[in-house]
Amino acid sequence: MKSLFINIITLLIIQQAFSQNKNYIDQPYLETSAKVDTLVVPDKIYLTIYLSEQDSKGKTSIEVQENKMANVLKGLNINIEEQLSLSDLSSNFKKYFLKQKDIHKAKSYSLIVYDAVTAGKVILALEKEKISNVGIEKLSYSKIEDLKLNLKSKAILKAKQNAIALTQPLGQNIGNAIHITDQFQNFRYRSVKESSMKIKGNSFQDSQPLEIEFEKIRVESTVSVKFALK
């Protein structure tokens, strides 16, 4: 008895869904789509700072290099408590065994800065302190969620304008939107491994900040709308 009741409920649900779909298909409608896009400047730049005893002449200790790094960043008005973190949180040190008894310690840090000018200043200042293994890891845009909503609104208004342009010459009008789908280009943090900047030795002799320009990030939204025809 219970099984029969469940089967009846399931059948009613299927019939209702089919009826709604049939009503949707039977009424006259116009489908239009529109896409809008924009370019944004990345405002979060992730730098990787690699400290290693092996990379420094005289085997300068990790602790000394860390102090130098901290002083450099503070001198550039960077909040190291908020913007600097260890890349590998599982352990403070990675030890590399070279030859038989030679052990070199290494640490990798991740630093967030908010513009290309600051990134260039950091790289140059660290280079002066013989901390030369610095790379640009990835770029991102902090206001992506607000941008998504803005682009979707613009796209659906554009779709409506397209629908009006198509129906007015025919003497017809569009009604309510009866079905809407949207697609947003998945925003991915831009990896810049192919263009990451590595500084080795005395690569930069002058004291001018590095001029770094990052490619703008393209984001886009596409909507498809079915408008009822009056």
Question: CATH no. for residue 198?
Answer: 3.30.70
pLDDT in tens, 113-171: 999 889 989 999 999 988 888 888 888 889 989 999 999 999 999 999 999 999 999 99
The proportion of the chain whose per-residue pLDDT surpasses 70, expressed as a percent, equals 67
Residue 52 included in any domain: yes
Residue 26 included in any domain: no
Residue 5 included in any domain: no
Domain count across the chain: 1
Residue 6 included in any domain: no
Residue from 25, 46, 55, 72 nearest 193 by CA: 46
Question: Would you tell me the crossing angle of helices 116-128 and 62-75 to the nearest 10 degrees?
Answer: 140
pLDDT in tens, 32-71: 999 999 999 889 999 999 888 764 456 778 888 889 999 9
Residue 101 included in any domain: yes
Residue from 168, 184, 154 nearest 230 by CA: 168
Mean pLDDT, residues 16-34 taken together: 71
Domain span including residue 89? 41-141+190-208
Residue 164 included in any domain: no
Give the pLDDT confidence score for residue 150 in this predicted structure.
95
Residue 83 included in any domain: yes
Residue whose entry in the numeric block shows the structure tokens 């491994």: 193
Residue 8 included in any domain: no
> pTM (2 decimals)?
0.65
